Structure 1
Amino acid sequence: MDKSVLETNLITQIGIIVSDISKTSTAYAAFFGIDQPEIIMTDMVDKAQTEYKGKTSVARAKLAFFDMGSLQLELIEPDEHPSTWREFLDEHGEGVHHIAFAVEGMTEKINLMEEKGMPLAQKGEFTGGRYAYMDTFKELKVLIELLEND
């Protein structure tokens, strides 16, 4: 059997698109019996360097992270600007947007996936690293997110 495209099978995060992060975050906190996490806003484009479908995007989102042992649950409420988040909410409604894998060598992993017909949909920077959403929806029914920490 061939090795994994990403050289890992360890899912580190599941991302869920929501229309009301406060309400959904409260519901998850109650369900898990834990404190509600802080809701943060993604960085502005000058810091995030967000690109969506190859073009600079001012898209931002509210985020809430639930650390559940080896797996993190991320809630994402997109703003109105073009992004994979907004596109997903508009086309599919609320639901699972991506599964994420921690990787090393982001550029190499993006190139490997693109060679396999899984193009880059969106990428950006965050404090401490970077992310890339690969368009794997047709094949895998969910986007794959690559996360690289500094």
Structure 2
Amino acid sequence: MNNPIGFDGFIQIALVVKDIRKAAETWARFFNVPVPDIADHPPARNPELTYRGQPAYYGLKFAVIQAGGFVIELHEPDERDSTFREFLDKHGNGVHHLGFQVGDKRDAVIGELEEMGYAMRTVGYYPGSSWTIVDSEDDLGVNLNIKPKA
């Protein structure tokens, strides 16, 4: 790649789970840390969120465990179509994506990944940054989350 993804930008491991409460408690016990708060995001119309090129509309329970220089994210999707529901239905509990912060190279990295045959699965924007899930699980065993900044 002309714009390689650097190891120094590794920021997250994201797991999709069927039962976020159980997963959060188990991970917290494993690391001997407090059980993380679980945010419950109901479905909302958001023009800044797409799934497979279409506007996305889904709910998600979400928790974050700080793990040194990166985070472990837990995602429990509702039954609506999303990258997380797609993964859970196909694989069950597991690692959905690895997240990388690439700074100003975000568009160049995404472009190169698309040229390599890895389509954007989900794109979301939030104040100050964005996240793009790249569909790479068939080749890499996991999707990629490319972010300009965390």
Give the TM-score band, short-chain normalised.
0.7 to 0.9
- 1: distance between equivalents of 2:60 and 2:51? 14
- 2: distance between equivalents of 1:73 and 1:101? 13
- 1: distance between equivalents of 2:35 and 2:42? 21
Q: Deviations over 1:60-118 (max 9, x none)?
A: 31111111111210000011111110000011101111111012233232112101111
1:93 maps onto 2:104 in alignment: no
SS in structure 2 at match of 1:149: coil
SS in structure 1 at match of 2:118: coil
Equivalent positions of 1:125-144 (< 5 A) are 125-144=125-144
Letter matched to residue 53 of structure 1: R
1:29 maps onto 2:38 in alignment: no
SS in structure 2 at match of 1:123: strand
- Tell me the number of residue pairs that the alignment of Structure 1 and Structure 2 aligns: 148
TM-score normalised over the length of structure 2 = 0.88
User: Is the CA contact (8 Å cut-off) linking 1:5 and 1:113 kept in structure 2?
Assistant: no
TM-score normalised over the length of structure 1 = 0.88
Equivalent positions of 1:10-49 (< 5 A) are 10=8, 11-42=10-41, 45-47=44-46, 49=48
1:146 positional shift: 0.9
Which residue in the other structure is 2:56 paired with? Answer: 57
Letter matched to residue 148 of structure 2: E
Which residue in the other structure is 1:112 paired with? Answer: 112
Which residue in the other structure is 2:73 paired with? Answer: 74
User: Is the CA contact (8 Å cut-off) linking 2:46 and 2:56 kept in structure 1?
Assistant: no
Letter matched to residue 85 of structure 1: F
Q: Which runs of 5+ in 2 are unaligned?
A: none
- Cα-Cα RMSD: 2.0
Q: Which runs of 5+ in 1 are unaligned?
A: none
